[in-house]
Amino acid sequence: MPTRKKFVAGNWKMNTTLAEAKALGAAVAKGVTDDRVTVAVFPPYPWLTAVGETLKGSPVALGAQDVSSEKKGAFTGEVSPAMLLETGCKYALIGHSERRHIIGESETFINHKVHTALEEGLSVVLCMGETLAERERGLQERVFQRQVYAACAGLTDEQFGRIVIAYEPVWAIGTGKVATPEQAQEAHAFVRSKLRQLYGDKIADSTPIVYGGSVTPDNTVGLMSQPDVDGALVGGASLKADSFLAIVKAAG
Ligand code: PGA
């Protein structure tokens, strides 16, 4: 059995004031005392540097919720991978369903972002998942296949080594409706089988595939008990240090 280290990340989305972000970063840093689980937080862009300061000396990594598909230049409002690296970010979240479905990011655009971020030295948390309508029509595996192939097209093995995949069923995000451990396992195993076809055993066995969508301290243990569930991407429950730390603990 391959052993993959668990990865738990908190996506703060468009929440927190500066003071709240600093307090949350400091509390998470204080609560994570070992590196049994890889832990990362994804604050809003303007708070990255300040939250990064609170994480200094702790094993908690910093990530950004998005990144530009371009390296530099006349792209008003965009933030480049190099800028994120300079704020102390290790990770960028790419392809979150709120960006796919609310902002309208396409598969091609997501693939472009993944390439730019990896070329510039970031690691990527790549999100994918089906909508409720797609699941009701039994299309989820077709959707995963399309999303994996499109997002990862053209990556080298070395680049793939810096990817974490987050399976996030859209119907479970922010709804309180969590996927059952069996549903999560089925999806993760299918995604891993696609990685095996595309990249071979080594990449398929070493890539973390984490679950996201209404993760709480209460449902973490059940989800983590599944062989292909390697951690969690947490939204709402990451906004309180206590619940986020309880999820980290339950994942370890
Ligand atoms: P949620 O969000 O935990 O609030 O459902 C998860 C996510 O969007 O990453």
Question: How are the residues of the chain apportioned to helix, strand and coil, as percentages rounded to the nearest 5?
Answer: 50, 15, 35
Does ligand 1 lie within 6 Å of residue 168's CB atom?
yes
Find out whether 184 and 129 touch, Cβ atoms under 8 Å.
no
Q: Which atom of ligand 1 is nearest to the CA of 174?
A: 5
Q: What is the pLDDT of residue 1?
A: 54
Spatial distance between the Cα atoms of 225 and 126, rounded to a whole number of angstroms: 22
Among residues 19, 64, 10, the alpha carbon closest in space to that of 38 is found at 10
Instruction: Return the half-sphere exposure (C-beta side, CA atoms, 13 A cut-off) of residue 156.
Output: 5
Q: Which atom of ligand 1 is nearest to the CA of 11?
A: 9
pLDDT in tens, the chain (252 residues): 567 999 999 999 999 999 999 999 999 999 999 899 999 999 999 999 999 999 999 999 999 999 999 999 999 999 999 999 999 999 999 999 999 999 999 999 999 999 999 999 999 999 999 999 999 999 999 999 999 999 999 999 999 999 999 999 999 999 999 999 999 999 999 999 999 998 999 999 999 999 999 999 999 999 999 999 999 999 999 999 999 999 999 999
Q: Is 46 buried (19+), middle (13-18) or exposed (0-12) by CB count in 10 A?
A: exposed
Q: How far is the CA of 233 from the centre of ligand 1 (A)?
A: 7
Spatial distance between the Cα atoms of 243 and 230, rounded to a whole number of angstroms: 19
Alpha helices in the chain (DSSP H): 18-31, 48-55, 81-87, 97, 107-119, 132-136, 140-152, 157-160, 181-199, 201-206, 217-224, 241-251
Find out whether 166 and 125 touch, Cβ atoms under 8 Å.
yes
Find out whether 231 and 91 touch, Cβ atoms under 8 Å.
no
Q: How far is the CA of 175 from the centre of ligand 1 (A)?
A: 9
Active site residues: 96, 168
- Strands 91-94 and 61-64 come out as parallel
Nearest CA to ligand 1 atom 2: 235
Q: How far is the CA of 174 from the centre of ligand 1 (A)?
A: 5
Q: How far is the CA of 8 from the centre of ligand 1 (A)?
A: 12
Does ligand 1 lie within 6 Å of residue 116's CB atom?
no
Does ligand 1 lie within 6 Å of residue 65's CB atom?
no
What is the token pair recorded at 126? 């790549």
Does ligand 1 lie within 6 Å of residue 173's CB atom?
yes
Q: What is the pLDDT of residue 242?
A: 98
What is the token pair recorded at 167? 């399976």
Does ligand 1 lie within 6 Å of residue 63's CB atom?
no
pTM for this model (two decimals): 0.97
If you ran DSSP here, which 8-state letter would residue 225 be given?
Answer: T
Q: What is the pLDDT of residue 3?
A: 79
What is the token pair recorded at 188? 């993760």
Does ligand 1 lie within 6 Å of residue 123's CB atom?
no
